[in-house]
Amino acid sequence: MYGIAHAGKSLLWTASDLLTLYLLVSVYRVNPIVAGALFLAGLAANALADLGVGIWLERHPHHAARVAGVALVLAAASFPATVLLAPHGLAVLLGATVVFRVTYAGCDVPHNALMTQLGDTPARAAWLSRVRTVGTALASISAASGVSGSGRVTTAHLLWGIAGAALLIGSTMLPLLGAFSSVPRDRQRGAVRWIGLPLRFLAANVIGIVALGALAKALLHMPAGLPYGMTLTAGKGTTILVLLIVGRSAAALIPIRLGSSPRHGLALLAAAYLAAGIIAAGFAWSAAPAMLVLLGLVMGATNLIGWALLPALAQGPRGYGVYTMASKLALGAAGLALAGGLGRVPTFTPNAFAGFAVLAGLACAVAALLAAPRLTSLRRDGFAVP
């Protein structure tokens, strides 16, 4: 049920991440820099809401199901407006974006914090992270199908369909939240970090998300002259996203083994970001289909390992709120980085795209260094040992 609920809730998030910038720029002809700034502003509001919801649930854990139910309805109802209101001006579009992002936080944080209760051992945490990866992949497949739609009527039907499906499927989280609404005893005792997470772990993931997220979005704006690249003609945007999703889905098959101490998991995370850096830099020379699958694979692997480590590193709902807050700010920064790279044109020049890919690779290398277990400050307790 956790995986089904995640797929439904994630459908809204994945669609907003994959489709918003693309539809605003390609269908409604919004300036890429304006679209990127709007995307970042919405995620900034979402990030602050994540922190607020996390702190609230830490103090009032029995409110989780009620908060999530109301927020899911409001998020689904407001999601289509984040694109469809583009003709009415930037102020109206910004208002709709903020409403959607803030209400989404109300269902996102309670659902994510369930991992504290359900993933209290390394094996369970890794399994739940795989379930999340598969759920996200299913949501991404649905969202990616929208890139091929070019008409505004098709876009409206797509967005309302996504909203309805997300509301129906995502509501399966409510019984789980009702059954697991208390804060585990081991999280109630002792001092809590003000951010609820090791700072270097958080910084590594933020940098990695910015780098890989920006590069993945840049692939939809590739130049025609890139060697071995896929020219973005009609339908190719969908092909690119599908290849990325195939890679992300394959990450669920990676045999991850976490010990009772998070150090082994952090070493795996550092290795994944190092591999991601090499692959990202490789796009300066090739954007062949196999490279797209590999990029999706490392994106999925870093996400999977990060979420598998959270039950050991996060201190209650606050830690999850901070993690999702930072992740969403990072994705917003990725959109802004893409817009800055594009400037005022819809596609990169070959040299600009190559430089963008190399910078993404270097950022992933920095993330790997920060995630290295000798540098990362850890909590003493780690996973529970049965």
What is the per-residue pLDDT across 149-174, written as a single tens digit (0 to 9) for each? 444 447 788 888 888 888 998 888 88
Which is more confidently placed, 329 or 280?
280
Question: Mind listing the pLDDT tens digit for each residue in 302-352?
Answer: 988 988 888 878 776 777 778 878 887 787 777 777 766 666 666 777 778
Question: Mind listing the pLDDT tens digit for each residue in 228-237?
Answer: 454 444 446 6
| Amino acid letter for position 330 | A
Burial class (CB in 10 A: 0-12, 13-18, 19+), 87: exposed
- Check whether 137 has a pLDDT greater than 50: yes
Which is more confidently placed, 313 or 181?
313
For residue 190, give every residue at least 6 positions away whose Cβ sits within 8 Å of its Cβ, in sequence order, or none. Answer: none
Which is more confidently placed, 214 or 232?
214
The per-residue pLDDT of the chain, averaged, comes to 79
Three-state secondary-structure class, residue 189: coil
| Amino acid letter for position 82 | T
What share of the chain in percent tops pLDDT 70? 81
Res. 380 pLDDT band, cuts 50 70 90: very low
pTM for the structure as a whole? 0.72
Q: At what angle do helices 64-78 and 32-59 cross, to 10 degrees?
A: 160
| Alpha carbon 43 to chain centroid, angstroms | 11
Res 192: pLDDT: 46
Torsion angle (degrees, nearest 10) of CA 161, 111, 372, 250? -40
pLDDT winner (highest mean) among 170-179, 192-201, 355-364: 355-364
Burial class (CB in 10 A: 0-12, 13-18, 19+), 73: middle
